[in-house]
Amino acid sequence: MKKLKLFFVLLFFSISLVPHVWAASAHIPWDMKLNIFNYSDRNLTFKDFKGKILLVNFFATYCPPCQVELYEFANLYPQLKPKGVEIISFMVDEGGERLLPHLIHSKNIKYYVAVADEKVLSAFGWPDILPTTFLVDRDGKIVRKFVGFAGTELITKELDKLLQKQTENKK
């Protein structure tokens, strides 16, 4: 019985620590308002990003792997922006807005940080394991979902595939 319990405990932790990549097929709602925190134009919608590839990330301020991903995305963003990729990280913790200025400054975040509301969470299937990251193509189709810490190597690899595919489709 102890071995069986140990097996399930190890299985749970191995599942939670390994990023899971799923193909997805939903479309984002273009007209949904976004509660952007770190730019003066806070009245953006997903439509403002139409034609761009989006990396949409859900994080919490109390989540250590989330903090690492935010830092990695901040370092990756200058390479992605010229390729037509935008990043939006949605904070999910309630009342965490007071922590965002320090978080944005300390990680030197230049991409969009927003506060997730129920509409955004619903549009992305209520991500319940953090961090969770989605890749959205230029047409608004959610094409990949990463559950757990994925790291920039895996995300960059998937982004490169998406950029290549979308370049081929334009020809």
Nearest-angstrom CA–CA distance, 71 and 62: 14
Map 59-90 to HEC letters: ECCCCHHHHHHHHHHHHHHHHHHHHCEEEEEE
Cβ 55 vs Cβ 133: under 8 Å:
yes
pLDDT at 12: 42
pLDDT at 171: 60
Q: How does DSSP classify residue 125?
A: T
Strand, coil or helix: what is 151? helix
pLDDT at 168: 73
Domains of the chain, CATH where assigned? 25-170 (3.40.30.10)
Q: Sheet of 85-91: strands edge to edge? A: 20-23, 142-147, 132-136, 53-59, 85-91, 112-115, 33-36, 43-45
pLDDT at 2: 58
pLDDT at 52: 95
Cβ neighbours, 10 Å, residue 61: 18
Give the residue carrying structure tokens 């949904």.
32
Cβ neighbours, 10 Å, residue 37: 18
Give tens-digit pLDDT for 56-71: 999 999 999 999 999 9
Nearest-angstrom CA–CA distance, 58 and 156: 17
Tokens at 119, concatenated: 């509409």
pLDDT at 7: 45
Give tens-digit pLDDT for 69-84: 999 999 999 999 999 9
Nearest-angstrom CA–CA distance, 83 and 24: 22
pLDDT at 61: 93
pLDDT at 165: 85
Tokens at 43, concatenated: 């009245």
* pLDDT-flagged residues of the chain (< 70): 1-25, 40-41, 170-171
